[in-house]
Amino acid sequence: MPDHDVLVIGAGLAGQRAALAAAEDDVSVGIISKVHPVRSHSNAAQGGINAALNPDDSWESHAFDTIKGSDYLADQDAVEIMTQEAPKELLHLEHLGVTFHRNEKGELGTRAFGGASAARTYYVADITGQAIMHVLYEQLMKYSDEVARYEEYFTTGLAIDDGGACVGAVCRNVKDGSMELFGAKSVILATGGNGQVWQPTTNALICTGDGISMAYRAGAVLMDMEMIQYHPTTLAGKGFLITEGARGEGAHLLNAKGERFMERYAPNKMELASRDVVSRAEQTEINEGRGFPDGTVALDITVVPRKRIHEALREIVLVGQDFAGVDITKEPIHIKPGNHYTMGGVKTDVWGRTNVEGLYAAGEVACVSVHGGNRLGANSLLDTLIFGRRSGEDAAERAKGREPARPSQSVLDDEQARIGEILGREKGSGRRVSEVRKELGETMDKHVAVFRDEAGINTALETVKRLQEEARSCYIDDRGSVFNQDALGALELGYMLDNAEATCVAALHRTESRGAQYRTDFPERNDEEWLKHIDLSHKDDAPEISYSDVTMTQWEPQERTY
Amino acid sequence: MAAYTLKVRRFQPESGDGPYWETFDVELDPTLSVLDGLLQAKDRDDGSLAVRCSCRAAICGSCGVKINGQSALACKTQIGEAKEIANRRDGGSEPIVVEPMGNMPVIKDLVTDMESTHWTKIRRVTPWLLPEGDPPEREYIVPPESMIDITQSMACIQCGACVSSCLSMEADPDFIGPAALAKAYRFVGDPRDAETEERLHDLANDPHGIYDCTHCFSCIDACPKGVAPMDQIMRLRRKATAGYEIDDHNNGMRHEHAFVKIIESKGTLDESLLLQESFAPGLKGKLAPRPGAIKGLIESIPTAIRGLRSGKMRSLPKLIPGIHPKLPGDAQDNVRRIYAHAEDHSVELNLYIRGEEAEEDAPVPEAEAVPAAAIEPEPDEGGG
């Protein structure tokens, strides 16, 4: 049995940062990922990372923008920590070798981003997430004696001891199908978000909410699960992301009549209002017949100087070319709001600690909450790094001097039996996993998206419950051990359905409009009743609702205009 | 919607059988990708079809495969275009052929073992920044263009398409290879790294290092991200030679100088001069050969004979000094002018930032684009 002081599950930015931070504390660290670490979805963060590093900027300003962006649902103590620690973290990355853009003096240079009152987004062309993640992976290779990497190990469940503490995890080695029980004094979940629950989505195929589901089933509380971000600029049909950096560089949004419609919705910030605002504006234009026949509006990047496009938006030039057949330097590209980010997740404190002893969560899987009802662009990378590091530090501290974990062998037996049952299902006995997954995605995108109402969410919830039943008998073709992606797909479907159920329950329950949750039947924000988090715990195989307060420090809720 | 046939090279390791071909009929929009086609086959027909994939948007680097023999990302190759290429090659209704990447062991179907080849080689180049001393309080101050320059190799997503297509690696499996060398340039070109010269010494003197590349351009064709690994290898060579004058055990620097000099004086490659100029350059080199020159020359004879036998070197008479044909007219003067221009404009040209150099809509001026090629003459024939 592999045994570590700190076991990190997930190797995107949050996971890698946590592993490196824990290793600095001289504890034994293992990092597990169902794909090779550099395949993780942090790659997709194009635009940049926010930090109030310039002397004329301040963490208070960054914090206020974040809190306003969150529609006052973010916990202000957590936002303060994130924004205060941002400059130091950014410089740390620069020192490790991230090739951040420089100004003409050779110093770190910035670009503008949505919802921000200062240009405080630091970037590497439009591959910021990829650049940071590959540099962190360089560090993991450097410290391979200190951090054991388990690449292409799929985590099927957490090991919880009799006292309710997390003491490890069970994983399937994707390459040969062997199952292993990992013992750990502290376990950090860094498994990312759940975008695949929606179709289409900007998220990678691996973003199936694994950690959210596993934590929930292990007794952890989920928070703000109704808060799902729709990004304003995604390619219709395929869901590919066009970075907010494009608007940061000055691109315009136009409806089919050629109007710069954001004038009507956010006269001051225009295209750079926060994402929920811009997505709603676009969807309104589309719904009211001012979009294009393919259900889109246009993003006009041609107004950005070509030199600048090639230097700063290179990836978008390629995306336009390869996936839409459009030369974005010459013509506008059709876009629409698309599923993008999970603001909610496993509830943690500012050290990444969940309510389950020994279990931590960081990054998109977690909900600290620094994003509340709506995440600002370029705050996600920051979230992963700050709370990844803090989780790593605290998890290492907790592990020191503690007796080695002794997870029960029965956890492994249970997980083996569960997979054995899936492998043993008779062919043709039920629906195919892919069919169920598709129906789930389309249902959620139809009913639990930019605009929501009670009837729609109820329809979605009923569908999810039916699909949960159907998933129990989904059959798969592959009975083998080596790279059996079919079996893993069946497990992921289960995770996704848990996520979907939680989102529907919370979205139905929150009878107001705040951030990404816009209820057409309750169009106003209602601070009196709803300035609070919805918490969900797993009881009798369904989410049980409770509430927790939003932590306020110095920013009182105001009306939100951009 | 259109119908396509994918002919997939499959291997099911637990079956006890060898690799085999299987065709899948799929229906999808021509603008969707080969990966979408594979996933449709997997979803509808056979869930055991193994292919690594994640982002679907050419960012994660998972789905490197060979499509119609060309290494590429399945998600970045439109199925309609792949079909056209298949038709062109086979002149009709041929299927789109999908195989696992080359130069790597196959684990199952389209899944290859990247650890044993690709990642081992990446780790070979000490792939992390080695700065001097403690970091500054704020950021390192570096020229802005240096960051743009190495951002080209940072754009690498480690998909392995270049490794898969690398002809040198086919001949020498120990070749460090295009991906790892591009990664090496990311540090060599980084002004924050303090071990530039050590890195270059290491890569120049390794018999499987920077001089093992034969300029075949396959990696540039295969790379889905415009990293142009061969260009990065050439940058490493120029830093090793022009930058640090590293006189390597592979005779790489002298061989490169020989190429440059021969083309400068003859316009095309005079193969009769190549070996002697590589080992004993100029009159001085011949009158007072440096230690090892004669030995090196003699050791190269078998290679030359193999080159002649295989037709790689053109013919025996071409090896007689003095009969190499001159360029017609004033072509030779033009070649010299290109050299002069290159020397006057000896700034490293990173084509990655072409858009920045160009004025609105103006194409890159010919003269700007030429020097890089002139500094690195491509051997039209003969060893590189």
For residue range B194-219, what is the model confidence (pLDDT) as tens digits? Answer: 999 999 999 999 999 999 999 999 99
Longest dimension (CA), chain B: 74
Nearest to A346 by CA among A498, A517, A508, A168: A498
Q: Is pLDDT above 80 for B364?
A: no
The angle formed by the CA atoms of residues A124, A115 and A349, to the nearest 5 degrees, is 85
- Residues 261-320 in B contacting A (C-alpha not used; CB under 8 Å): none
Q: Which of A152-166, B142-156, B362-376 has the highest mean pLDDT?
A: A152-166
Determine, for residues B144 and A104 on separate chains, whether the beta-carbon distance falls below 8 Å.
Answer: yes
- Cβ of A455 under 8 Å from any chain B Cβ? no
Determine, for residues A106 and B142 on separate chains, whether the beta-carbon distance falls below 8 Å.
Answer: yes
Q: Is pLDDT above 90 for B47?
A: yes
Residue B336: count other Cβ atoms within 10 Å of its Cβ. 14
Please, what is the end-to-end C-alpha distance for chain A in angstroms?
55
Q: Is pLDDT above 80 for B162?
A: yes
- The alpha-carbon gap from A96 to the nearest alpha carbon of chain B, in Å, equals 7
- Cβ of A511 under 8 Å from any chain B Cβ? no
3-state secondary structure of A188: strand
Contact residues on chain B for A43, CB-CB shorter than 8 A: 55, 59-60, 157
Peptide linkage before A293 cis (omega within 30 of 0): no
- For A477, the closest of B47, B62, B353 (CB atoms) is B47
- For B111, the closest of A240, A476, A483 (CB atoms) is A483
Residue B200 CB partners (closer than 8 Å, separation 6+): B188, B236, B239, B240, B243, B244, B246
Amino acid letter at A302?
T
Between helix A454-471 and helix A485-509 the angle, nearest 10°, is 150
Low-confidence residues of chain A: pLDDT under 70: none
Determine, for residues B128 and A97 on separate chains, whether the beta-carbon distance falls below 8 Å.
Answer: yes
Above pLDDT 70, what percent of chain A?
Answer: 100
- The alpha-carbon gap from B299 to the nearest alpha carbon of chain A, in Å, equals 39
- Residues 114-143 in A contacting B (C-alpha not used; CB under 8 Å): 124-125, 127, 130-131, 134-135, 138-139, 141-142
Q: Is B325 exposed, middle or buried (0-12, 13-18, 19+ CB in 10 A)?
A: exposed
Tokens (6 digits) for A396: 């290492």
Residue A351: count other Cβ atoms within 10 Å of its Cβ. 17
H-type alpha helices, B223-379: 229-238, 252-266, 271-279, 282-287, 293-310, 331-344, 354-357, 366-375
Position A527 scores a pLDDT of 97
Note whether A548 and A530 are within 8 A (CB).
no
Beta strand extents in A354-483 (DSSP E only): 359-361, 366-367
Q: Report helix, strand and coil shares of chain B as percent, to nearest 5.
A: 50, 10, 40
Q: Is pLDDT above 70 for B171?
A: yes
Torsion of CA B32, B38, B43, B49, to 10 degrees: -170
Determine, for residues B355 and A486 on separate chains, whether the beta-carbon distance falls below 8 Å.
Answer: no
Instruction: Tell me, rounded to whole angstroms, the distance of Cα A409 from its chain centroid.
Output: 32
**Cα separation, B34 vs B191, whole angstroms:** 40
**Cα separation, A308 vs A493, whole angstroms:** 42
- The alpha-carbon gap from B341 to the nearest alpha carbon of chain A, in Å, equals 25
Count of residues in chain A: 562
Q: Which of A302, A482, A486, A493 to mutate: most B Cβ within 10 Å?
A: A482
Position A263 scores a pLDDT of 97
Please, what is the end-to-end C-alpha distance for chain B in angstroms?
47
Q: Compute CA distances A534 → A350, A371, A499, A510, whole Å.
A: 18, 14, 14, 8
A307 to chain B: closest CA residue:
B356
Note whether B243 and B203 are within 8 A (CB).
no
Contact residues on chain B for A134, CB-CB shorter than 8 A: 154, 156, 158
Tokens (6 digits) for A522: 């309750």
Above pLDDT 90, what percent of chain B?
Answer: 58
Position B90 scores a pLDDT of 65
A319 to chain B: closest CA residue:
B57
Contact residues on chain A for B131, CB-CB shorter than 8 A: 95
Tokens (6 digits) for A535: 């918490």
Amino acid letter at A13?
L
Topology of B2-111 in CATH? Answer: Ubiquitin-like (UB roll) (3.10.20)
The angle formed by the CA atoms of residues B50, B51 and B55, to the nearest 5 degrees, is 140
Position B89 scores a pLDDT of 77
Tokens (6 digits) for A214: 């596993």
Q: Is B370 exposed, middle or buried (0-12, 13-18, 19+ CB in 10 A)?
A: middle
Q: Compute CA distances A205 → A77, A238, A464, B39, whole Å.
A: 34, 12, 19, 11
B189 to chain A: closest CA residue:
A99
The model's pLDDT over A298-332, given as tens digits with 9 standing for 90+, comes to: 999 999 998 888 878 888 898 888 888 899 999 99
Contact residues on chain B for A146, CB-CB shorter than 8 A: none
Strand order from edge to edge, sheet including A333-342: A228-235, A333-342, A297-300, A252-254
Position A524 scores a pLDDT of 97
Domains annotated for chain A, with CATH where assigned, are 3-227+343-407 (3.50.50.60), 232-338 (3.90.700.10), 410-524 (1.20.58.100)
**Cα separation, A452 vs A73, whole angstroms:** 19
**Cα separation, B323 vs B335, whole angstroms:** 20
Determine, for residues A307 and B356 on separate chains, whether the beta-carbon distance falls below 8 Å.
Answer: yes
- The alpha-carbon gap from B286 to the nearest alpha carbon of chain A, in Å, equals 46
Tokens (6 digits) for A391: 């989780």
Query: Which residues of A are known catalytic residues?
Result: 275
Position B376 scores a pLDDT of 39
Q: Compute CA distances A238 → A144, A334, A338, whole Å.
A: 38, 12, 9
**Cα separation, A314 vs A318, whole angstroms:** 7
Determine, for residues B47 and A480 on separate chains, whether the beta-carbon distance falls below 8 Å.
Answer: no
Position B278 scores a pLDDT of 87
DSSP A199-227: SSBSS-TT-S-HHHHHHHHTTPPEE-TT-
Q: Report the DSSP pairing between strands B96-99 and B2-10.
A: parallel
Position B360 scores a pLDDT of 40
**Cα separation, A376 vs A117, whole angstroms:** 12
The model's pLDDT over B232-275, given as tens digits with 9 standing for 90+, comes to: 999 999 899 888 999 888 888 888 888 888 888 888 888 888 88
Contact residues on chain A for B355, CB-CB shorter than 8 A: 306-307, 309-311
Position A77 scores a pLDDT of 98
Peptide linkage before A369 cis (omega within 30 of 0): yes
Q: Report the DSSP pairing between strands A121-122 and A110-111.
A: antiparallel
Question: Which one-letter DSSP state was computed for residue A425?
Answer: S
Determine, for residues A35 and B54 on separate chains, whether the beta-carbon distance falls below 8 Å.
Answer: yes
Class (C level, CATH) for B114-243: mainly alpha
- Residues 235-294 in A contacting B (C-alpha not used; CB under 8 Å): 238, 240-241
Domain ranges of chain B: 2-111, 114-243, 252-375
The label of the residue with tokens 């009549």 reads A257
Position B347 scores a pLDDT of 58
The model's pLDDT over A370-418, given as tens digits with 9 standing for 90+, comes to: 999 999 999 999 999 999 999 999 999 999 989 998 999 999 999 999 9
- Cβ of B147 under 8 Å from any chain A Cβ? yes
DSSP B59-99: SS---EEEETTEEEEGGGSBHHHHHHHHHHHHTSSPPEEEE
More confident residue, A81 or B379: A81
The model's pLDDT over B305-358, given as tens digits with 9 standing for 90+, comes to: 888 888 777 666 767 777 787 888 888 888 888 888 887 776 554 544 433 333
Determine, for residues B144 and A489 on separate chains, whether the beta-carbon distance falls below 8 Å.
Answer: no
The label of the residue with tokens 């055991």 reads B48
Residue A489: count other Cβ atoms within 10 Å of its Cβ. 22
